[in-house]
Structure 1
């Protein structure tokens, strides 16, 4: 999905679910890491995390869009737009938006470095790369050799 398709989807959901037009800009923002979307109070633009669509699919993205549109429409009408406000909770329930997005932290790939002792063959896994000329095996004091990097 590109920016134009996202904009059209947000406008369609705004009309269908809220009965009001969305007249601002909706974009994907790759810098969002822990949140599904963001509503800007000053500009009224919406940002969405593209990983939500890639990892969880379009249904989850639609839930996030409804959540951010709740902030948008309530703020523009002068009602309680914050998460703790009763107006927000009621509108979110009425349109079927998601309260929380599924966690992306468990999806993130972690890279580790693997080293093997040349004498006894013991395997060492480390998060940071180190200089093998400065360190030896803790079991037999043999030389360590870098095997490579692996994703967990």
Structure 2
């Protein structure tokens, strides 16, 4: 699907679902990564992530278009167009648009490995743990001003 075909599809969905024309531009934006599409407040244009069409199909694309058209029509009418606004939520339900798009299959969730660092004072044997590392050549024990030594690092998750 090219930008011209997307433009026709958006105009068609706007008339069928909203009963109002779409008078601006709809294009694919290859720079979009974590979102299915976006409505630009300044230009009133709609940008769509092509990956959603390629990986999840046309039904997901139509849902994204309906979602962005909800932003579009409500903004032009001067009503609440943000996700938290009741007018937006009502219009989403009315036209059958999803509030959020599905996650792309090729995007893997980052598995965060947390670490805990254990430190000990070489003078008074005070031990403590931190999430962030300490520059042991710069900082000293807060109790006795002794030298800090990194004991070990524990990986969690």
| TM-score, scaled to structure 2 | 0.67
Query: Unmatched 5+ residue regions in structure 1?
Result: 110-152
Q: Map 1:58-73 onto structure 2 (within 5 A).
A: 58-73=58-73
Q: Map 1:3-152 onto structure 2 (within 5 A).
A: 3-104=3-104, 106-108=105-107
Which string of whole-angstrom CA distances, capped at 9 and with x for unpartnered residues, describes residues 91-110 of structure 1? 00000011111112x4148x
Aligned match of 1:137: none
Q: In structure 1, how many angstroms separate the alpha carbons of the residues matched to 2:7 and 2:31?
A: 19
Q: Secondary structure at the match of 2:87?
A: helix
Question: What is the Cα-based RMSD across aligned positions, in Å?
Answer: 1.0
| TM-score, scaled to structure 1 | 0.69
Q: In structure 2, how many angstroms separate the alpha carbons of the residues matched to 1:12 and 1:69?
A: 11
Structure 1 segments (4+ residues) deviating >6 Å: none
Q: In structure 2, how many angstroms separate the alpha carbons of the residues matched to 1:97 and 1:29?
A: 21
Equivalenced residues, count: 108
Query: Unmatched 5+ residue regions in structure 2?
Result: 109-157
Q: In structure 1, how many angstroms separate the alpha carbons of the residues matched to 2:68 and 2:18?
A: 12
Q: Secondary structure at the match of 2:84?
A: coil
Please identify the structure whose Cα radius of gyration is greater. Answer: 2
Q: In structure 2, how many angstroms separate the alpha carbons of the residues matched to 1:54 and 1:87?
A: 31
